[in-house]
Amino acid sequence: MSLLLNQPSKLCLGKPVLVRSSPLGSDSFSSSLQQTPPCAIISVSPCPYADEIGNLNIKNANEHFVTHVEKDVPTEFTSILKYFRFGILGTIGSAHGWVATPLEDGRVRLQDDLNPAASYTDPKHICLPPLVTLPYCQTQLVTNVSMSSSSPEEEDCVVAIKFFGPQLSLCRPAAQSNSEWINIRIANPCFFSSRVMFSKRDGMFHIPGSGGHLIGSWDLEEHKDHPKIQTLRFHNLAELTISKLEILHSCSTSEHLVESQTTGETFLIKWYRKTTRSFLDMPKMKTEALMVFKLDEEGNAVYTKDIGDLVIFLSRAEPFCVPASFFPGMYPNRVEIIDVDELGSVNLATGTVSTKNSTHMAPYYIPPQNIEH
């Protein structure tokens, strides 16, 4: 499903229309194009032969070891990945393998240098217009970045940046000289710290409210200033012991929406994390539990321990899910997680959390991509 963009300098999201097969859909996997498995960016190691170039280190989701990719990457990313460990974000988000980095002149640049499937010899850098800050808002702290299609070079692609606070900004990079940010002020404070995702099924940007009881949906027609608000009704809730409830109540909770392009299902994930101390006595976040709810169009949120063949990937990039059977070595019915503090997975059937310290890792998962080189 796609955005309808009728004017060169304005964004117009109308009723979604089918314009291409999804990059994660079954049609794309049946093609003869070779695709990379989902992967996590581990680090950029300096190249001994060039001061300004580094090489990419990744971990494929269907492997247990780190792969060294002989791809030239600007060494600026070496510093960026270090900044993640100390809370200074040199990037502001990632979607579909494109990393967004802020520039000194107030603009944002999308680049595919960290995407192992992108061209080795011709990396793409796309500059977006200067950000415009709405009154009584801020554009320095970002929750995440979302895109309506797999590449910002596509004519109908819209990039969304969700800031901490009331501002949501959208722009169409392909408009080039006519490109501009369309800034939306969100009224309900429950959405201020939440993340945005794009629904191909609905053709709208969705944001879950804090606590997961509401989902706000925005487009640039009737739902620009008056978003569509859906109230969720939770069913089949897990029976938890008092001690388990006490642990969850002590956790920091975040809500994430993910949509399967192969099954058409939408899931709400509640991610429970707790602050612990590392061996250097530095605070770090550790996953205590995940709860997954399957959503329907009527607003029913049914707790489930079974998402079938799917694997969900949670990171600071836009969440996504893929069938495990498409990539030998991946385990179904799991949630793979990565952040600045940990890397691991959650077995939904048993609830088992298996994570480890992820020192020096970048918190981005990259979805499957067609190999261009």
Over residues 298-310, the mean pLDDT reads 97
More confident residue, 86 or 239: 239
Given this model, what pLDDT does residue 49 score?
67
**11 — pLDDT class (breaks 50, 70, 90):** very low
Judge whether residue 243 has pLDDT over 70.
yes
Tokens read off for 20? 């291409």
Contact 130, 107 (CB under 8 A): yes
Ranked by mean pLDDT, the top range of 115-124, 169-178, 230-239, 270-279 is 230-239
**90 — pLDDT class (breaks 50, 70, 90):** low
Q: In this structure, is the dihedral angle defined by the CA atoms of residues 328, 331, 332 and 336, taken in order, positive or negative?
A: negative
Over residues 330-341, the mean pLDDT reads 93
| Among 84-88, 169-173, 184-188, 206-210, the least confident range | 84-88
Judge whether residue 27 has pLDDT over 50.
no
**77 — pLDDT class (breaks 50, 70, 90):** low
**22 — pLDDT class (breaks 50, 70, 90):** very low
Judge whether residue 323 has pLDDT over 50.
yes
Neighbouring residues of 282: CB distance < 8 A, sequence distance ≥ 6: none
Distance CA 227, CA 2 (A): 18
Given this model, what pLDDT does residue 21 score?
32
pTM of the predicted structure, to 2 decimals:
0.86
Contact 146, 198 (CB under 8 A): yes
The Cβ of residue 49 has, within 10 Å, a number of other Cβ atoms equal to 6
9-38 exposure pattern, b = at least 16 Cβ within 10 A, e = fewer: eebbbeebeeeeebbbeeebbeeeeebbbb
Distance CA 183, CA 37 (A): 35
Distance CA 172, CA 5 (A): 9
Say if strands 197-199 and 204-208 run parallel, antiparallel, or are unpaired.
antiparallel
Given this model, what pLDDT does residue 107 score?
87
Which residue bears the tokens 């109308």?
Answer: 14
Judge whether residue 361 has pLDDT over 60.
no
| Among 118-122, 175-179, 265-269, 285-289, the least confident range | 175-179
Given this model, what pLDDT does residue 341 score?
81
**Span 52-64, pLDDT tens digits:** 667 788 899 999 8
Given this model, what pLDDT does residue 102 score?
84
102: Cα separation from own chain's centroid: 17
DSSP label at 195? P
**4 — pLDDT class (breaks 50, 70, 90):** very low
Given this model, what pLDDT does residue 373 score?
41
Q: Which fold has domain 91-231?
A: Lipocalin (2.40.128)
Judge whether residue 74 has pLDDT over 60.
yes
Which residue bears the tokens 């399957």?
Answer: 294
Judge whether residue 187 has pLDDT over 90.
yes
